[in-house]
Amino acid sequence: MKFDLDHIYIEDACRDTPLARRILSRADAVAPISFVADGREVARPQPGVADSFATGKRRMVVMRRRSPFLMACPAGSAKFACCGYLVLTLASNCPMDCSYCFLQEYVADNPGLQIYANYDDAFTEIDKLSASAPARHFRIGTGELADSLAMDSLTGMSIDLVNFFAARENLTLELKTKTDEIENLLRVDPRGRVMVSWTLSPRRVFEASEHGTASPAARIASARGLLDGGYRVAFHLDPIVVYPEAERDYVELLDELFAIISPAKIAFISMGGLRMTAGLRAAARRRFPKDAMLLGEDVLAEDGRYRTFAPMRIRLYKILADKLKSAGTAVPSYLCMESSSVHERVFGAAPMHPAEAGERLALR
């Protein structure tokens, strides 16, 4: 997959970084390039533009990250059963455009497609964390504020990342994507320490809502390719959208997956229902007024997000959890951003402590 860019801006201070040099050597045919003193100026919404979030996706800004790279997953809180995931922010915004994407609200004031050139500092942060708890195993992912691989053919960052994690025993890198950009990954040896995960949706959701992404079949084929290349693979059914044919479509999706990848080879499959703050719901419906997937029966939940009516989403979770349990080898699964009580109703047991859950998932 290759994404169109309108312009590439490179911060002066990043001009001589390996990332900028790689982009400069490849970008001639991609988009015009300018140098700027402060990337934050061009990452902001541009005046007079109707959909500045959409245009931001096409304006790449290579810049320094001024805040820490590593943080606890923002989905984790006292309210939710948590998987102990740590987020590494190497980029912000995404060239694809899913109608339900939380970035529509989260980076509305900062929509440029930012790639952080000082990612050596991220490696220093990770080494410090790891040295502070040598007996622990950390699962660290880059796919929170950006797709992990969408721009990889231009940036080549995945090669440095995989090489860094491959050399460290107590770390697992999780790259999360909706693309089939796997060429760079196939050039390096992850030594079993890198997991690549794909969000999977039924074709009906893909066609209605996941604009610019690789098809579900292409995502599964990429996973197969990386599995053969020594990577661990995992999947996220997230967001799960409830619509009239959803039960049949999601079960069929798992059947399609298991026909290509044996359940025994899958590290885990997470599940999470469609959830939207009022601000995100308004932005999504304004930008995608024809997307029926955004118009399901939702109610305002205790956490201030609109969610599918609980009995409907729990029913679908249970059907899928049963399917995973009976898949020959049971596939580990967890719920994202759901309470312990929902977890118990779906799996019949309380969730593990976040740190334990994180370590188990990292080591699968």
Q: Which residues bind ligand SF4 (CB under 6 A)?
A: 94, 96-98, 101, 103, 147, 178, 213
Give Cα 264 distance to the centre of its chain. Answer: 23
Q: How far is the CB of 220 from ligand SF4 (least distance, A)?
A: 16
Q: Positive or negative CA dihedral for 346, 347, 348, 350?
A: negative
Please, what is the minimum distance in Å from the beta carbon of residue 99 to ligand SF4?
9
Report how far apart, in Å, the C-alpha atoms of 21 and of each of 25, 34, 196 are: 6, 14, 26
CB 361 within 8 A of CB 139: yes
Please identify, using beta-carbon distances, which residue of 105 and 147 lies nearer to ligand SF4: 147
CB of 221 to ligand SF4, least distance (A): 18
Beta strands in the chain (DSSP E): 7-11, 33-36, 59-63, 70-72, 86-88, 91-92, 97-98, 113-116, 138-141, 171-177, 194-199, 210-211, 232-240, 266-273, 275-277, 298-300, 305-308, 333-335
Q: How far apart are CA 207 and CA 209, in angstroms?
A: 6
Smaller CB separation from ligand SF4, 17 or 213: 213
Q: Whole-number minimum distance, CB 203 to ligand SF4, in Å?
A: 16
Task: Characterize the bridge pairing of strands 59-63 and 7-11.
Answer: parallel
Would you say 96 or 194 has its CB closer to ligand SF4?
A: 96
Nearer to ligand SF4, 172 or 177 (CB): 177
Shorter beta-carbon distance to ligand SF4: residue 23 or 96: 96
Cα–Cα distance for residue pair 164/174, rounded to 1 Å: 13
CA distance linking residue 124 with residue 122, whole number of Å: 5
> Between residues 91 and 352, which has the closer beta carbon with respect to ligand SF4?
91
Q: Work out how close the CB of 199 gets to ligand SF4 at its nearest, in angstroms, rounded to a whole number.
A: 7
**Residue 333 C-beta: closest distance to ligand SF4, Å:** 20
C-alpha to C-alpha distance for 288 and 14, rounded to whole angstroms: 36
